[in-house]
Amino acid sequence: MYTKTILDRFQNPRNAGGMHGANAIGQVENSACGDIIKMYLKIDDNSIIENAKFKTCGCCVAISASDIACDLIKGKTIDDALKVSSQDISKILGDIPQYKMHCVILAEESIRSAVEDFYKQKEKATKAAIRKTKRQIQEQQE
Ligand code: FES
């Protein structure tokens, strides 16, 4: 029923596991089946995704799709990673029955969730830096 690629990526995922030093972590869940994908990214100062890893609590297709999604976004800019679609992932995995496409879509969503987290963290850091600068200016004026 499953292609060789799906079975290979399910049995020997290349990108499984968490990541020490990840600066973006996304998590998505399919409410119907309860499967979860957690995507870890290390993004450099030029917005290039240096590394991508995943932890998936889910079916064979969700695990293999997560693994392929990591491969597809590594070395890409954030903007280019956001262009990676479930169609791109399913093309590599091979013949995905329509009723399993939601598993592949979940992998695509996990990329977006991680990128969203990256921008949230960045915004938090910027706000903290602004607060710090304001405090320093106030202290100098006192
Ligand atoms: Fe839930 Fe595949 S059955 S993601």
Residue 95 pLDDT more than 90? no
The answer, yes or no, to whether any atom of ligand 1 lies below 6 A from the CB of 59, is yes
Mutate to test the pocket of ligand 1, among 33, 36, 93 (most ligand atoms within 8 A of CB): 33
**Structural domains for the chain:** 4-141 (3.90.1010.10)
User: Mean pLDDT across the chain, nearest whole number?
Assistant: 96
Q: What angle do CA 13, 16, 18 make, to 5 degrees?
A: 175
| Distance between CA atoms of residues 118 and 20, nearest Å | 15
The answer, yes or no, to whether any atom of ligand 1 lies below 6 A from the CB of 65, is no
For the chain, the C-alpha Rg in angstroms (whole number) is 18
Rounded to an integer, the average pLDDT of 117-130 is 95
- The beta-strand segments (E) located in the chain are 24-29, 36-43, 49-57
**pTM of this prediction exceeds 0.85:** yes
Take residue 4 and report the two structure tokens written for it. 């060789």
Q: How far is CA 132 from the centre of its chain?
A: 31
Place of tokens 């995922």: 13
| Distance between CA atoms of residues 80 and 62, nearest Å | 22
**103 catalytic per annotation:** yes
pLDDT confidence of residue 136: 95
Take residue 8 and report the two structure tokens written for it. 């290979």
Instruction: From 15, 8, 44, 1, select the one nearest 107 (Cα to Cα).
Output: 15
Residue 86 pLDDT more than 90? yes
Residue 20 pLDDT more than 90? yes
The answer, yes or no, to whether any atom of ligand 1 lies below 6 A from the CB of 33, is yes
Q: Do 24 and 114 form a contact (C-beta atoms < 8 A)? A: yes
Residue 102 pLDDT more than 90? yes
